[in-house]
Amino acid sequence: MDLNAEVDQLVRQSQTWIPLIMEYGSRVLLALLTLAVGWWVINKVSARLGKLVGMRNADLALQGFISTLANIVLKVLLMVSVASMIGIETTSFVAAIGAAGLAIGLALQGSLANFAGGVLILMFRPFRIGDWIEAQGVAGTVDSIQIFHTVLRTGDNKTVIMPNGSLSNGIITNTNRQPTRKVVFDVGVDYEADLQKARNVLLELAKDPRVLADPAPQAVVATLGDSSITVSLRLWTKTSDYWDVMFMLNEHARDRLKAEGIDIPFPQRVIRVVQETAAQ
């Protein structure tokens, strides 16, 4: 009798367990299947996203960062969805994630601005490593572009670290972006000088292999100053030759003009002294 009672009790309990096992077992199996398939799809999507970013010639660091960030965010959403499928209440969990994200965003708003600026710089490439740029009152060669900051090396070999937030929102002058640059060389000559001869001297200096023939060099009278007439030589050269040509003009202009009898006057000021008479 005891054995029959135990069997009856086991049958009654199984009638309660089996529906629960069937219900939750199917949920768990579906959740596990969703997790496996979703995990595989997310890995494929994040890898594809990295390749799409790479097609825009973005930096390798940016490609890896965006791919990893998308992978993490999508997997967190997948885990929340899977937890909801097996009956776990996710409302409070989602609210906690949102509150944590808001708190982190407020605490790191300066860093997030620099991060956003770094993403824009790496994607749109206003400058590249090796370019000479002027921005935020600093000029130098770009040594590296990071997610949060850009490192510049000045002409006297100082390292300047600039936040990407302010850098991306300000005016940037990139002197290496174009293949050619215009050289404007001004020199002041005496009012008694032969202007045509002065122009010819400057044009002779422009006959240098580093000076481009098209557009042709020009020597013009730029301004009439207080103590001199400014004669301006305007020519084009390759960007890499800009400073060499400028230094060459500074070095030879005075000697060539002096050899032709053309003086470069010092700044002058005329002072008139009026003496009062004894009667006055």
The tens place of each residue's pLDDT in the chain, 280 residues long, gives 455 666 566 556 555 655 656 666 677 787 788 888 888 888 888 888 777 766 666 666 566 667 777 788 888 888 878 777 776 766 766 676 677 666 666 555 667 788 888 888 887 888 988 899 999 889 999 998 888 889 999 989 999 999 998 898 889 999 988 999 999 999 999 888 889 999 999 999 999 999 999 999 999 999 998 888 999 999 999 999 999 999 999 999 989 998 988 888 876 666 667 666 555 5
Query: What is the per-residue pLDDT for 206?
Result: 93
Query: What is the per-residue pLDDT for 52?
Result: 74
Query: What is the per-residue pLDDT for 1?
Result: 47
Residue reference for tokens 């000479």: 132
Q: Which of 253, 197, 185, 263 is nearest to 228 (CA)?
A: 263
CA torsion angle 139 141 143 146 (round to 10): 40
Q: Which amino acid is at 163?
A: P
Supply 148's token pair. 């949060």
Strand arrangement, sheet containing 229-238:
180-189, 229-238, 218-224
Could you give the C-alpha distances from 115 to 66, 146, 187, in angstroms and in order?
Answer: 12, 9, 47
What is the pTM assigned to this prediction?
0.60
Q: Are 250 and 264 in contact (CB under 8 A)?
A: no
